[in-house]
């Protein structure tokens, strides 16, 4: 099964401010739902706290260093390796859905990156990682008009052998 990374960034690569996503864009969450539905989500504990509940129709794996941490209907992992092996055991597509710390540690494991760029610049303190594009090729691009226009791009890792 492929490992997908799913993220939305502003044009200045901001993905978050504190625990919040610093924009409201109509339709963008629907796109996230379409991409991830039926799969297994891996997310950091801070991102889970900001969502506050498991998302319907998807298994949630939360990564935390806290050995006592538990959430109803979620699986808990204490490293990225553990998260990826729990996800592999689910036998469904795996979607790494943030936030910044988790993207940084997992971009090297991603086969596919679904990256939506919101066409605005916003203030924030959490960023999408830099310097990954040379390992990936653009496979799909789709423009959306909304209260803030956005572009979805799907990248696949370039095979080397």
Least CB distance to ligand NAP at residue 149 (A): 16
Interaction of residue 100 with ligand NAP, rule CB under 6 A: yes
Query: According to CB under 6 A, which residues from 142 to 161 bind ligand NAP?
Result: none
Determine how β-strand 150-157 pairs with β-strand 112-118. Answer: antiparallel
Distance CA 130, CA 88 (A): 27
User: Which of 18-26, 84-92, 137-145, 146-154 is the region at the interface with ligand NAP (rule: CB under 6 A)?
Assistant: 18-26
Pull the structure tokens for residue 98: 């943030």
At a CB cut-off of 8 Å and minimum separation 6, what does 100 contact? 15, 16, 126, 127, 128, 129
Residue of 55, 52, 63, 64 lying closest to 36 (CA atoms): 55
Identify the three-state secondary structure at position 156: strand
- Please identify which residue in 25, 61, 80, 86 interacts with ligand NAP, judged by CB under 6 A: 80
Least CB distance to ligand NAP at residue 101 (A): 3
Interaction of residue 35 with ligand NAP, rule CB under 6 A: no
- Please identify which residue in 36, 47, 60, 106 interacts with ligand NAP, judged by CB under 6 A: 47
Least CB distance to ligand NAP at residue 159 (A): 26
């Amino acid at each position: 099964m492929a490992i997908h990374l799913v993220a939305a960034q502003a044009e200045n690569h901001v993905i978050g401010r504190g625990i919040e996503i610093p924009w409201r864009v109509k339709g963008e969450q629907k796109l996230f739902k379409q991409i991830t539905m039926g799969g297994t989500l891996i997310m950091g504990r801070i991102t889970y706290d900001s969502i506050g509940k498991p998302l319907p129709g998807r298994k949630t794996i939360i990564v935390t260093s806290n050995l006592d941490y538990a959430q109803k209907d979620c699986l808990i992992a204490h490293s990225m390796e553990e998260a990826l092996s729990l996800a592999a055991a689910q036998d469904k597509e795996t979607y790494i859905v943030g936030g910044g710390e988790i993207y940084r540690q997992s971009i090297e494991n991603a086969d596919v990156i679904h990256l939506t760029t919101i066409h605005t610049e916003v203030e924030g303190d959490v960023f999408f990682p830099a310097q990954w594009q040379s390992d990936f090729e653009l496979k799909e691009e789709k423009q959306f008009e909304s209260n803030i226009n956005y572009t979805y791009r799907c990248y696949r890792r370039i095979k080397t052998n």
